[in-house]
Amino acid sequence: MKYRDWKIPYDPPEIPEALVQAGYAPLLAALLATRGMRTPAEADSFLHGSAALLPDPMLLLGMERAAARIRRAIETKESVAVFGDYDVDGITSTCLLTDYLRRQGVPCRAYIPDRILEGYGLNCAAVTALHEAGVSLIISVDCGITAIEETALANRLGMDMVITDHHECGEQAIPDAVAVVDPKQPGERYPNHGLAGVGVAFKLVCALEGDSALPLREYGDLVAIGTVADVMPLVGENRYLVAEGLAQINRAPRPGLRALLAECGALDKPVTATTVGFTLAPRINAAGRLGQTMVAAQLLLTHDDAEADQLAAGLCTLNRERQALEQQIWEEASLLAGRYPAESPLVLASDEWHQGVIGIAASRLSETFHLPAIMIRFDGERGKGSCRSFGGFNLYNALAACSEYLEGFGGHALAAGLTIRRENIDRFREALGAYYRSNPSDGLPELECEARIADPRLLSMENVAALQRLEPCGSGNPKPQLCMTGVRLVNVTPIGGGRHLRLHVTKAGYHFECIFFSCTAAELPVRAGEWIDLAFCPQLNEFRGRHSVQLLVTDLRPGEARALCRAILTHGSVSAWDTTDFCPIRTDFVRVWRWLSAPRSVALDELSARAPMGMHPVKLCLCLMVMAELGLVRTRLADDVLSVVPVPDCPKVELTDSRLLQQLRKDRHTV
């Protein structure tokens, strides 16, 4: 299991009649209700949105000064540099603003720092080099809010700086630039604090144009890619921007995106937020990780189809190189991890690892070993490290507590970076381990299911197809996370060279195919034929022209019947869909009567282990309730402990006289 606990809503999901009457499929209506939309007007506003969701860019603090300074640069055709970042958000931000300024006739150069040689953000060497190249205005995108020293240098050199960013400002000073535009800076009144860096760059262009319509038509695709890749909340303005951008990509992709989709084999398929997150973004990111960011930037900027094809092929080659490096580093790190205590964060180091890839490897390491992981690449006596948390452990606080052994660090609770001298690594590892044991993490994360599907008919083709209306899905608007309990696992088939599994399950006579990625047969906690609980995201699958419902498995576990047993013992029964697979027959009652040769007290948590051999606890509870109705036993449930006492010298009864059993048998034939 991947999660320490599952939060399951056992009550049936609410399906607002108003939404159904308005034409919403029942499953979509239920999920909209769980997300706070119970009327057609609320649902329509969320799902479709409009340009009215785009606030006036001039509401952003500093935007008026930024727009005025850039207009002057456009009028006088100044030499301008757009200074970005090497991740997807930074690359799309850089390309958006660079392309716009070039269209205005401005001699504009794109500058993205080398991840390995320069690191993140503005740096004094780059500012000096741009000054020597004749640049008089630097506009930062997706970075710059902490560039106090670099802005001061630009001022001394007679250059102007306009900073656009979206990162936290905290309590630090704001750089002394001509203008600073950041929706998170103090005193900000702009309603959307969740803009990506590319979103802020887009609002700057809207301010320069005095309108949002043309910039959205020209650059909506870049805004969508950067916003999704940077995991910004897909609600309100962001959702509208991403939806419009994805529609633009699907309708008429720019040459670079068309070429990249073709190279990935995704050109003739609908492009969704998932396509961006798992297909486009990793490849664009690969260029930055390997110090060749301009390959990705040129791909997004080119208007030439032949050049786009060549650049897309090169980008995919870089991505394969990144994958190979990541796998090599991961294998080496996994072997190293076994040398250190299992109860301490992993602090691993090498002189050979690639600086641009160790962050991905650290994430894999933390997920595999269920521990915070820090991977350090040494260059001489000084090393740079990428840190990833696990289980809610506050990594930033931990680094602060051990900072006497570090030259520097930064980041947040879940991810951070550090610099350290070689002679301090053992003492740092020991100090971090001590801090971790004094401030333990929560261990495995908790899985929260949006709805429990008791009636498998809700997973029809029509209902699952209707869930596409929730797209674009991502942060703030996740893909539906559903679950079913009391499911029988029919068979298990390894696929993808054994790295993944195809499962077949059944619930109340309905059969489903499932795909469980990154889980091997050896890792599966159950065997075919057993009862399980299944957490999944439903999707439509097409294979050889045949469409079907497929369940994309998030996790599964041995059947946890405690809640259903409690409901049965308290109320006499539950949904027909929950009991149809467990309707008892006469031989089941015989086994339970023999099991009750003496009074028993059993905790619900132990019911599976202590039930008659092979009997599901739900079936046991149904047997007991039928027997209690007929006066054969007395049951009592207190503090999740079931007490059962056989009634001595009870008169002979007929099982068929039980109204509960009659209903169970009727339900079994009905469903």
pLDDT in tens, 29-44: 999 999 999 999 999 9
Please give the pLDDT value at position 220.
Answer: 98
State the Cα–Cα distance between residues 293 and 112, nearest whole angstrom: 7
Query: Average of pLDDT values for 543-557?
Result: 91
Assess whether the previous peptide bond of 648 is cis (omega < 30° from 0).
no
Helix (H) / strand (E) element for 512: namely: strand 510-516
Q: What is the dihedral of CA 310, 311, 317, 318, to 10 degrees?
A: 160
Burial profile 570-592: b = 16 or more Cβ within 10 angstroms, e = fewer:
eeebbbbbbbbbbbbeeebbebb
pLDDT in tens, 342-398: 788 999 999 999 999 999 999 999 988 889 999 999 999 999 999 999 888 899 899
Axis crossing angle, helix 213-229 with helix 236-251, rounded to the nearest 10:
100
Phi first, then psi, for residue 173 (nearest 5°) are -70, 150
Distance of CA 561 to the CA centre of its chain: 29
Please give the pLDDT value at position 321.
Answer: 95
Average pLDDT value for the chain: 93
Q: How many CA within 13 A on the CB side of residue 246?
A: 22
Please give the pLDDT value at position 118.
Answer: 87
pLDDT in tens, 110-154: 999 998 888 888 999 999 999 999 999 999 999 999 899 999 999
Please give the pLDDT value at position 135.
Answer: 97
pLDDT surpasses 80 at 647: yes
pLDDT in tens, 487-524: 999 999 999 999 899 999 999 999 999 999 989 999 99
**Paired sense of beta strands 373-379 and 382-388, if any:** antiparallel
Q: CA 265, 271, 273: angle at the middle one, nearest 5?
A: 120
Task: Show the tokens assigned to 400.
Answer: 């602060």
Please give the pLDDT value at position 415.
Answer: 86
End-to-end CA distance of the chain: 31
Please give the pLDDT value at position 82.
Answer: 98
Please give the pLDDT value at position 543.
Answer: 80
Burial profile 622-656: b = 16 or more Cβ within 10 angstroms, e = fewer:
bbbbbbbbbebbeeebeeeebebeeeeeeeeeebe
Ordered domains of the chain (ranges, CATH): 5-45+449-558 (2.40.50.460), 55-215+228-233 (3.90.1640.30), 338-434 (3.10.310.30), 562-670 (1.10.10)
Residues with Cβ within 8 Å of 326's Cβ and at least 6 positions away in sequence, in order, are: 357, 360, 361, 364
State the Cα–Cα distance between residues 59 and 64, nearest whole angstrom: 9
Distance of CA 110 to the CA centre of its chain: 31
For 244-258, the DSSP string reads HHHHHHHHS--HHHH
Residue with tokens 């939806």: 243
SS3 category, 176: coil
Give the amino acid at 631: G
pLDDT surpasses 80 at 171: no
Please give the pLDDT value at position 341.
Answer: 76
Please give the pLDDT value at position 168.
Answer: 82
Please give the pLDDT value at position 1.
Answer: 64
pLDDT in tens, 201-254: 999 999 999 999 999 999 999 999 999 999 999 999 999 999 999 999 999 999
Question: Could you tell me if 512 and 551 are in contact, meaning their C-beta atoms sit under 8 angstroms apart?
Answer: yes
